[in-house]
Structure 1
């Protein structure tokens, strides 16, 4: 009798545990590649068509001051997954930090790390340890194999930052499928198959990181008719518009799969992009510049949080939030208290109450980029580089840029000058001193590597 009672109690305990696990919220991060701040209808675009995304974000809160912690793919993704500033993990760019011609680089940049150190316990690892099924669908970019970093299932992720082609053969993206399938469509199909295979006795974490809308810009022929006679404020690339619209359609397929499985209402969703849109492909007016730049067009991104019956729908917030904040926020969502120290701040309570404490309101946001990135343009006021070694800080309405080559400083009031056109550094010396002091303290605390060594190959062009 005692043995039977023990078996019954064990059964009840296991049933209770499984039931508790199944009720924990599922987590979905939608991280679009290179989608600019103004590349969706809900952010003001009248050219790109994103009805599914627009409807989805209306069910939650949209952050108009959403940021990536870096202005291009690899470092931004490393920040999102580790919750740490680039000064911690050492991924500052894609490939080498010495981009462009050596003769144009006055300083020797810090060496870039291209593979995320496995000593960092990233988001999926902690979730997996706490009972979550984990899947990455699409772009990984941190190493050769995401399965070594806490993912149970990998759908097309590798070290590749973009496919050789969106049409088969995809070249550097290894994924089997029909020989006519557009790559993002194949990824979402396999993602739906994955969701269907899951049992409802445990929560899941899905990191949906489509390769789109990154280059190569390859149109979706069936959607071209929609944009034949459209264009708006510099957004005129019709092939790119079909890629945006197709990604919207794929998100619709994903949402439908969640609905049919009966788990959408219990899924916490983050919608964002990994960095600003690529200048020359899309346009972020009134923001200045784009991907690879540390002006607002390079780091400000579309951002929304959705959680049915928990987050009030139809809200908009101007609170500055960064993808560093995802990690601690999701720990709160999942009810996990034991996880590594991170640099981001949880916005969990704010999402539920719409009330922000001083920690969130007053905190500075930092960007450190001890590297060079070629591709300058008129928006960066630099014909050679999108990025030269430097750092930026935003606190309140104020944003300061400091560049190491010439020790120059730019100061902008984003409330009155969102386009960063009017440098107030000469008029606001006290504000410059305040922000530079904060940045110096932060660099010391995070062991930011200095960029001071001169490059012997450098040839001055201002003689």
Structure 2
């Protein structure tokens, strides 16, 4: 059910409490931390102040980050919306759920595709147990707020409540009638969607009482369409460019998301819930390269260079995570699922494969994780955003079919069409300018061997059929 009016919301929550309170109501359950997972849409690695931006203004996000642990090497498990969110919610690599892109895998012109791409799965399989389903079963009140993008009804995938969630990947419009978000009704003709989603989110927080809750806050912003928050536009129109960032309209959307998160934190603080709430902050993929830049990272959304997969990230937990701390350990959003279970004291579901690891020892600075490879698998095509974009492998596609692996400082990308290999030392070359594949054949053999073993283990499909339309 979608939330429209606060009065209706309160009645709905009353019903949920009446049927769930008998499941678990012990003091142990009430002591479990509330969990908020903030997943901004298309926000790049340097689109926030805590990652160095001097153009976008994000004081609320920055303050929260400063009171938690910031991760400088945090990754999404895919470089565009749907597969990234599928990995986050399932805790699994793309090869396990089969969601590789948005819509069809036959992107771009057929004559430019040498291989027939793997068929894309557009909906999360019903038998894949997601984070909210586990938490709901354990007695958490669960709410999805904003973009869902993995099925038509998030209420069927572990959420007691959905605020504006559907299979839609963007709202169509941030001004009424919101087009792709028809179930959220505007209170006035010019009410901004991001603000309205937070209004309804705060209604949810008002209604949970002392039950532990899980909030997946994933506003459609700052995804296209780029529609400015009109009151904020003048301050950015004359603001000096910084590091390639100069889009005033986009900047208003970034600042407005920050303002909404400020409202969320204030509500938690005023209600006394902040003391027992864990907040994860991240983005689903890199920034749209035609709109924002992440320099020195190469490229942006849809690419498997760092600009497409490295994300801004921090975790806040008052009294449990030391404020002002930072970690350079490479982590993946796949780690969120086991970390959340660890924090809540919930066992892993039977027969569930989790490809990440709990980073709780890192967060509490009580131990280190063993170095492990991180993988990306994209056996499909994704056409270029920007004409003649020199930051991608070629000007026609943001990426062609391939896999990538990072281990330690080294990152290797293998493309399937011609078995092209790119090798980078990220410690020395974060911008991925110097391909070291020819000069480091032993490292290439090592990483390709790791990729081959991983693809075999996960049954990752590799396209081999030639496309007869290819020219």
Give the counterpart of 1:428 among 433, 436, 440. 440
Give the counterpart of 1:93 among 80, 93, 101. 101
Give the counterpart of 1:43 among 38, 45, 51. 51
Is residue 295 of structure 1 aligned with residue 305 of structure 2? yes
Cα distance in 2 for residues equivalent to 1:353 and 1:63: 13
Is residue 391 of structure 1 aligned with residue 403 of structure 2? yes
**CA offsets, 1:436-458, max 9 Å, x none?**
00000000000001210000011
Q: 2:329 corresponds to which residue?
A: 319
Give the counterpart of 2:28 among 9, 20, 33. 20
**CA offsets, 1:329-356, max 9 Å, x none?**
0000100014223111110122112531
CA RMSD of superposed structures (Å): 1.2
Cα distance in 2 for residues equivalent to 1:223 and 1:21: 43
Cα distance in 1 for residues equivalent to 2:138 and 2:200: 25
Give the counterpart of 1:226 among 235, 247, 256. 235
Cα distance in 2 for residues equivalent to 1:64 and 1:15: 40
Cα distance in 1 for residues equivalent to 2:96 and 2:27: 38
Q: CA deviation at 1:17?
A: 4.4
Q: CA deviation at 1:229?
A: 2.3
Cα distance in 1 for residues equivalent to 2:448 and 2:224: 36
Cα distance in 2 for residues equivalent to 1:297 and 1:75: 17
Q: Secondary structure at the match of 1:282?
A: coil
Please show how residues 28-107 of structure 1 align to structure 2 within 5 Å: 28-107=36-115
Q: Secondary structure at the match of 1:269?
A: strand
Please show how residues 223-372 of structure 1 align to structure 2 within 5 Å: 223-230=232-239, 231-339=241-349, 340-353=352-365, 355-358=367-370, 362-372=371-381
Give the counterpart of 1:210 among 200, 219, 233. 219
Q: CA deviation at 1:180?
A: 2.2
Q: Relative to 1, partners in 2 of residues 1:354 and 1:64: Cα closer, same or farther, differing over 3 Å? A: farther
**CA offsets, 1:364-407, max 9 Å, x none?**
00000001000162111411100100010000000001101111
Q: CA deviation at 1:249?
A: 0.2
Cα distance in 2 for residues equivalent to 1:272 and 1:354: 23
Cα distance in 1 for residues equivalent to 2:348 and 2:431: 41
Cα distance in 2 for residues equivalent to 1:435 and 1:16: 47
Q: TM-score, normalised by structure 1?
A: 0.94
Q: Secondary structure at the match of 2:143?
A: strand
Is residue 418 of structure 1 aligned with residue 426 of structure 2? no
**CA offsets, 1:122-157, max 9 Å, x none?**
000000010100000000000110001000000000
Give the counterpart of 1:440 among 424, 427, 452. 452
Q: Relative to 1, partners in 2 of residues 1:15 and 1:369: Cα closer, same or farther, differing over 3 Å? A: closer
**CA offsets, 1:74-105, max 9 Å, x none?**
00000000000000000000001110111110
Cα distance in 1 for residues equivalent to 2:448 and 2:441: 10
Is residue 452 of structure 1 aligned with residue 461 of structure 2? no
Q: 2:135 corresponds to which residue?
A: 127
Give the counterpart of 2:412 among 395, 400, 412. 400
Bigger-Rg structure (1/2): 1
- Contact 2:338/2:348 (<8 A) preserved: no
Q: CA deviation at 1:225?
A: 2.2
Is residue 141 of structure 1 aligned with residue 153 of structure 2? no
Q: 2:203 corresponds to which residue?
A: 193
Q: 2:382 corresponds to which residue?
A: 373
Cα distance in 2 for residues equivalent to 1:130 and 1:307: 21
Q: CA deviation at 1:224?
A: 1.1
Cα distance in 2 for residues equivalent to 1:136 and 1:261: 20
- Contact 2:359/2:369 (<8 A) preserved: no
> Structure 2: any 5+ residue segments left out of the alignment?
1-21
Q: Relative to 1, partners in 2 of residues 1:245 and 1:341: Cα closer, same or farther, differing over 3 Å? A: same
Cα distance in 2 for residues equivalent to 1:171 and 1:69: 29
Q: Relative to 1, partners in 2 of residues 1:354 and 1:63: Cα closer, same or farther, differing over 3 Å? A: farther
Cα distance in 2 for residues equivalent to 1:194 and 1:173: 18
> Structure 1: any 5+ residue segments left out of the alignment?
1-13
Cα distance in 2 for residues equivalent to 1:451 and 1:354: 43
Q: Secondary structure at the match of 2:203?
A: helix
Deviates more, 1:286-295 or 1:337-346: 337-346
